[in-house]
A and B are shown apart, each in its own frame.
Chain A
Amino acid sequence: MIRLNALDPTAAKWVLGAAVLTALPLLFHLDPLVAVAAAIPLLWQAVRLYRHRSHTPVNRILLILLTGIAAAVTIWRYGSLFGRVAGLALLAMLLGLKLVESRSQRDAHIAVQLCFFLQLGYFLVEQNGLTAVFAFSACGLALAALQRIEQPALALRPAMRGSLRLLLIATPLALVLFILFPRIERPLWGLPADAQAATTGLSDSMAPGSIAALSQSNEIAFRADFTGPVPDRHERYFRGPVLSDFDGLTWRPSRGGSIRLSANQLPAPNLRYTLTLEPHQQQWLLGLEHAIPGQDQSIDNNGVLRSIRPINNRLRTTIQIHLSSGVWQYSTPGDLRRNLALPAGFNPRTLALGKQIAEANPTPSARLSAALDVLRHNQFVYTLTPPVLGRDTADEFLFQTRQGFCEHFAGSFVILMRAAGVSAHVVTGYQGGEVNPIDGSLVVRQSDAHAWAEVWVPEKGWLRIDPTAIAAPRRIDAGITAALASNANLPFLVRTDSAWLRALRDRGEALSHAWNTWVLGYNFDRQRNLMRYLGLDPRNWQILIALLIGFAAVWQLAVWLLPQWRHRPVSATDRAWRRLQNHLAKRGFTQGLSEGALSFIERVGLARSEWSVSLHALAERYIHLKYARPMPNHAAQTLELERAIKEWISKN
Chain B
Amino acid sequence: MLRVRPPEALPITLPQRRVYVLPTGVGLSFGALLIAMLLTSLNYTLSLGFALTFILVGVGHLALLGAHRNLLGMSLMDGRVDAVFSGEPVALQLYFADTTGRARNAIELVPHDGEAQRFDIPPNGRTCATVFLPPLPRGRYRAGRIKIETRYPLGLIRAWSYLEPDISFWIYPKPELHPPPHLSVTGGQQGRKSSVPGSESFDSLRPYRPGDPLRRIAWTRLARGGPLVTKEFRSEAGKMRMLRWDDCSGLEMEARLSRLCAWMLAAHQNGEPWGLALPGKTLPLGEGTAHLRKGLETLAALGANRD
Contact = CB atoms under 8 A, between A and B. Distances in A.
A559 B43 CA distance: 31
A131 B36 CA distance: 20
A139 interface: yes
Interface stretch (A172-180, A375-383, A537-545, A603-611): A172-180
B93 interface: no
Given A150-B106, A559-B62, A593-B77, A127 B48 contact: yes
23 contacts: A2-B25, A110-B26, A120-B37, A120-B53, A123-B49, A127-B47, A135-B48, A147-B153, A150-B150, A151-B120, A170-B55, A171-B55, A175-B54, A183-B42, A188-B42, A189-B43, A218-B44, A519-B51, A523-B45, A523-B47, A567-B100, A567-B102, A568-B100
Contacts of B152: 147, 150-151
Contact of A124 (B33, B46, B65, B77): B46
Interface stretch (A69-77, A161-169, A319-327, A612-620): A161-169
A15 B155 CA distance: 14
Interface stretch (A111-119, A293-301, A407-415): A111-119
Given A113-B33, A120-B41, A173 B57 contact: yes
A560 B49 contact: no
**Range class of the A interface residue count:** 35 or more
A123 B59 contact: no
Given A3-B24, A105-B155, A117-B37, 4 more contacts: A139-B52, A139-B56, A170-B57, A593-B99
A540 to B, nearest CB: 19
B75 interface: yes
A635 interface: no
B69 interface: yes
A150 B155 contact: yes
A151 B51 contact: no
A437 interface: no
Given A151-B105, A183-B45, A593 B61 contact: no
A588 interface: no
Interface in A516-532: 519-524
B54 to A, nearest CB: 4
Contact of B101 (A153, A162, A568): A568
B45 A109 contact: no
A167 B30 CA distance: 16
Of B29, B61, B69, most buried by chain A (CB within 10 Å of CB) is B61
Contacts of A174: 51, 54-55, 57-58
A289 to B, nearest CB: 31
A61 interface: no
Interface residues of B, number: 53
A139 B101 CA distance: 29
A149 B25 CA distance: 15
A184 B50 contact: no
Contacts of B65: 559-560
- In order of increasing CB-CB distance, the 10 nearest A-B pairs are A170-B58, A174-B54, A177-B54, A109-B26, A173-B58, A174-B55, A567-B101, A151-B106, A146-B154, A150-B152
A106 B49 contact: no
B48 A188 contact: no
A402 to B, nearest CB: 29
B155 A153 contact: no
A519 B55 CA distance: 15
Contacts of B69: 563
Interface string A446-474: 00000000000000000000000000000
B11 interface: yes
A42 interface: no
Interface string A590-608: 0011100000000000000
Contacts, number: 163
A147 B285 CA distance: 60
Nearest to B62: A166
Chain B facing A: main interface SS: helix
Contacts of B99: 593
A568 B150 CA distance: 23
Contact of A120 (B46, B62, B75, B153): B46
A589 interface: no
Interface string A132-146: 100110010001001
B43 A188 contact: yes
Chain A facing B: main interface SS: helix
A151 B158 CA distance: 14
Contacts of B155: 105, 109, 146, 149-150
A211 to B, nearest CB: 19
Interface of A: 1-3, 105-106, 109-110, 113, 116-117, 119-121, 123-124, 127, 131-132, 135-136, 139, 143, 146-147, 149-151, 153, 162, 166-167, 169-171, 173-175, 177-178, 181, 183-184, 187-189, 191, 218, 519-524, 555-556, 559-560, 563, 567-569, 592-594
Interface in B89-105: 97, 99-102, 105
A371 to B, nearest CB: 38
A124 B55 CA distance: 18
A593 to B, nearest CB: 5
A116 B51 contact: no
Contacts of B101: 567-569
Contacts of B43: 187-189, 191
Of B53, B56, B57, most buried by chain A (CB within 10 Å of CB) is B56
Nearest to B152: A150
Contact of B54 (A135, A181, A187): A181
B26 A117 contact: no
B94 to A, nearest CB: 15
A144 B281 CA distance: 63
Interface string B17-32: 0000000111001100
Contacts of B40: 120-121, 124
B136 to A, nearest CB: 28
Nearest to A569: B101
Nearest to A521: B47
B151 interface: yes
A143 B47 contact: no
A543 to B, nearest CB: 19
Contacts of B150: 150
B52 A135 contact: yes
B84 to A, nearest CB: 26
A117 B42 CA distance: 14
B13 interface: yes
A188 B33 CA distance: 18
A519 B48 contact: yes
Contacts of A151: 105-106, 120, 152-153
A548 B42 CA distance: 17
B59 A167 contact: yes
